[in-house]
Amino acid sequence: MSESRHSIPVEMREGHVFLPEVGLWLDPHRRKDLAFVSHAHSDHFGPHRELICSEGTRVLIEERYRPKRTTFRSVAFHEEILLNGHRLKLLPAGHIAGSAQLFVERLADGASLLYTGDFKLRAGHAAEVSEWCRADTLIMETTFGLPRYQLPPGEEIVAEMVAFARKSFEDGHFPVFLAYSLGKAQEALLALHRSASDFAFCLHPAAARMTEAVATLGYEFPPFHEFDPDDADFDPSGWVHIQPPMAKRQANSPT
């Protein structure tokens, strides 16, 4: 960065990132007047008065949370927003459908900042491919950033999932994969289908609803059956089941 300009100020307030020059909060949980929301997972969303997000994230937030007192300023990726002397632009983050990074540039001198939110470098099945740009300041969310996290290649993981499912069927059982209803469920559904097109899928209602919402963003999913816990005649055998972790907790809870 040139010595003639100063970096964009960044503050931590109430446990959240705030850009005082821009007047913008980044992924806060508590209600704020104006916030950037990187994606539609609950740990990044709050019922803000006004929020900036991608168009895909707006669709998923409205379907998942149905906020009643929020005004959306949703934009397409790469579309620019001018705010308090700064240019804002959203870039794909690759985390889930609609997930975005925020690039901020001060108009007066070109000082810049990139906030990633959750992001994924390798291409997935149910998210836009992440993009990058040079910035003076980089704020990264690194859930698995420690060196001890050495994750295997995605192809290897999917192959193990397919093998597990086939072995389950051979043994007279049915496979169940636990995946968050938004993001992981769609990723698992597409990855398994593209590697084993003979599989038939049964989705938990929460995962089915979010899969239908993601489909409106242009993603094509295989047919699936929506699980109905009240259908006593339903035979779960022969299906690959995708359930959110909460379903396991509910099944294990005392009645």
pLDDT in tens, 47-64: 999 999 999 999 999 999
> Cβ(27)–Cβ(36) under 8 Å?
yes
Residue 206 lies in a domain: yes
Closest to 183 in 3D by CA, of 228, 128, 144, 142: 128
Instruction: Find residue 71's DSSP bridge partners.
Output: 50
Instruction: State how far the Cα of 241 lies from the Cα of 236, in Å rounded to an integer.
Output: 8
Residue 255, domain member (yes or no): no
Q: Give yes or no: residues 79 and 123 share one domain.
A: yes
Q: Check residue 248 and give its pLDDT.
A: 63
Residues 177-212 have pLDDT tens digits of 999 999 999 999 999 999 999 999 999 999 999 999
Do 174 and 135 fall within a single domain?
Answer: no
- Domain span holding position 241: 154-247
Query: Does residue 254 lie in a domain region?
Result: no
Rounded Cα gap, residues 244 and 185, in angstroms: 8
Domain presence at residue 165: yes
Do 172 and 219 fall within a single domain?
A: yes
Report pLDDT for 253: 42
List, for the chain, all residue ranges whose pLDDT scores fall below the cut of 70: 1-4, 248-255
209 and 125, same structural domain?
no
Total residue length of the chain: 255
Residue 149 counted as domain residue: no
Helical packing angle, 55-64 and 205-215, nearest 10°: 150
Shared-domain flag, residues 176 and 121 = no
User: Is the domain of 51 the same as that of 103?
Assistant: yes
* This prediction's pTM: 0.92
Angle subtended at Cα 164 by Cα 162 and Cα 241, rounded to the nearest 5 degrees = 80
**Domain-located, residue 2:** no
Domain count, the chain: 2
Give CA–CA dist 19/48, Å, rounded: 16
